[in-house]
């Protein structure tokens, strides 16, 4: 079945540690890719997006992600996390072969950063 | 100045009741959505509307009836509420069907 997979459900890091969250998708053809963040008790906000061009995209708050087409992956990274990065992170895909209008979300990764 | 606003923020109701959630966006977007987030934080699309027209109905029970009176509004009416309807419902909007979505604050629905 077509899906979006996030490799880690829970991640615990200490402040200043580096972060990498894995995301793979199984849709063929053109896709738009996103990472969203949901801080405790809040709505989802866009961290970064990839539509085309440079496969290394930079987002807000020091986050970046790399699109590797051959691996169907879009991993999220941050060199040094802060306590305020504690949140739920969602990888998301809009596959063009379904006509759009449907963002498919991964199951989310809960990140807890220890102060 | 909230971009996507939904009301109410919390809704507690008994099984069998009918309830509505309202959503408005002031971003000038032409596409609006309803998503359901379950207790495990899994987000699933329910409906997509483009220019007031239903585009996606993701096998949602027909007890759920969305209504889009204009491009800026997408309301969700739920009939005969069941315990399994308890979740957080998010409204969102985007320009076109392939762009980033802007989400509302969510409505936490609890059916008792």
Compare B1 and A70 and report the one with higher pLDDT. Answer: A70
> CA neighbours within 13 Å on the CB side: how many for B40?
7
Query: Residue B18 phi/psi, 5° resolution?
Result: -115, 135
Compare A1 and A9 and report the one with higher pLDDT. Answer: A9
Q: Bridge-partner residues for A64, per DSSP?
A: A58, A77
Percent of chain A with pLDDT over 90: 84
What are the tokens at B99? 């762009």
Q: Distance (Å, rounded) from C-alpha A112 to C-alpha A99?
A: 36
What are the tokens at A1? 């079945």
A8 touches chain B (CB under 8 A): no
User: B98 and A32: CB-CB below 8 Å?
Assistant: yes
- Residue A92 φ/ψ region, left for φ over 0, alpha for ψ in the -120 to 50 degree band, beta for the rest: beta
pLDDT at residue A25, rounded to an integer: 96
Which residue numbers in chain B have pLDDT < 70? 1
pLDDT at A98 over 90: no
A30 touches chain B (CB under 8 A): no
pLDDT at A1 over 70: no
User: B99 and A32: CB-CB below 8 Å?
Assistant: yes
Terminal C-alpha separation, chain A: 40
- Residue A108 φ/ψ region, left for φ over 0, alpha for ψ in the -120 to 50 degree band, beta for the rest: left
pLDDT at A100 over 90: no
pLDDT at residue B1, rounded to an integer: 64
In Å, how far is B54's CA from the nearest CA of chain A?
Answer: 10
What are the tokens at A20? 């990498």
**Closest Cα to residue B22, out of B111, B112, B105, B110?**
B105
What are the tokens at A26? 């199984």
Mean pLDDT of the A78-92 span: 97
Of B100, B102, B105, the CB nearest to A49: B100
Which residues from chain A sit within 8 angstroms of residue B33, using beta carbons? 103
Q: Distance (Å, rounded) from C-alpha B19 to C-alpha A22?
A: 39
pLDDT at A61 over 90: yes
- CA of B26: how far to CAs of A39, B3, B9, in Å? 23, 5, 18
Q: Distance (Å, rounded) from C-alpha B101 to C-alpha B80?
A: 30
* Beta strands A64-68; A104-105: pairing state: unpaired
């Amino acid at each position: 079945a077509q899906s979006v997979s996030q490799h880690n459900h829970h991640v615990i890091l200490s402040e200043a540690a580096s972060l990498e969250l894995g995301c793979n998708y199984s849709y063929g053809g053109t896709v738009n890719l996103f990472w969203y963040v949901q801080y405790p008790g809040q709505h989802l906000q866009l961290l970064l997006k990839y539509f085309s061009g440079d496969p290394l995209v930079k987002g807000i708050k020091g986050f970046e992600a790399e699109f590797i087409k051959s691996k169907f992956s879009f991993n999220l990274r941050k060199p040094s996390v802060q306590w305020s990065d504690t949140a739920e992170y969602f990888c998301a895909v809009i596959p063009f072969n379904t006509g759009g209008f449907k963002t498919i979300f991964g199951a989310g990764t809960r990140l807890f950063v220890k102060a | 100045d909230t971009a996507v606003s939904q009301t109410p923020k919390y809704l507690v109701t008994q099984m069998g009741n009918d309830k509505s959630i309202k959503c408005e966006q002031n971003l000038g977007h032409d596409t609006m959505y309803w998503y359901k987030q379950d207790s495990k934080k899994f987000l699933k699309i329910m409906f997509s509307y483009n220019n007031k027209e239903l585009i996606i109905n993701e096998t949602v029970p027909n007890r759920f009836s969305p209504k889009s009176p204009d491009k800026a509004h997408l309301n969700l009416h739920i009939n005969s509420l069941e315990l399994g309807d308890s979740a957080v419902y998010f409204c969102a909007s985007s320009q076109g069907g392939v762009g980033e979505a802007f989400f509302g604050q969510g409505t936490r629905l609890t059916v008792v």
